[in-house]
Amino acid sequence: MTQEGFTPRYLVLTIVFFIVSGAGFARGAEDFSGYEMGFTNFITCELTRMGPDSYFKGKSVEITMIDVYMVRNESDLVIITGAVQCFVEDTAKTLYAALGVKTVMDREKVMYFTTRPRDFSILATELMRYPYKERCGWSRYRLDIN
């Protein structure tokens, strides 16, 4: 095989590789944006609703920032971690939150949810200790972009 015969094939394969990998990156960014939006809306609903399961025991709360750290897959679970900054009756607080989302009958649903006052590196086995009793429906906040 000559150098001239190798170069066009190599060039075509390189172009195809970048097109295919670029489509994968675009899909990943699309998924991250959707999960980020869903996480923000879900956390806002979950932390600001009042009732017997209120996180702040009836105190007024104002969320100032929600930041998603990571979205990753572990087995059949999508794990989303992030932080929430808020004021609870004029006291600044930072909470760290994690969600475990599963696809059940073609619909995504929050199966596990936890918040903590300290940061953590969440693993699926650790998150599964915090089953979620649905109060804020994930499907209402996570819009399917496709």
pTM score: 0.72
Task: Report pLDDT digits (tens) over 80-110.
Answer: 999 999 988 888 999 999 999 998 888 899 9
Average pLDDT over residues 72-76: 87
Instruction: Examine residue 129 and state whether it is found in any structural domain, yes or no.
Output: yes
Q: 95 lies in a domain? A: yes
Number of domains in the chain: 1
Look at residue 24 and give its three-state secondary structure: helix
Residue 62 lies in a domain: yes
Q: Which two tokens stand for residue 131?
A: 């089953």
Type of residue numbered 114: T
Domain membership of residue 118 as a residue range: 26-136
Rounded to whole angstroms, the Cα distance separating 74 from 68 reads 17
Separation in Å, CA 24 to CA 20, 21, 29, 70? 6, 5, 9, 18
Phi, then psi, of 14 in degrees rounded to 5: -65, -45
DSSP state of 128: T
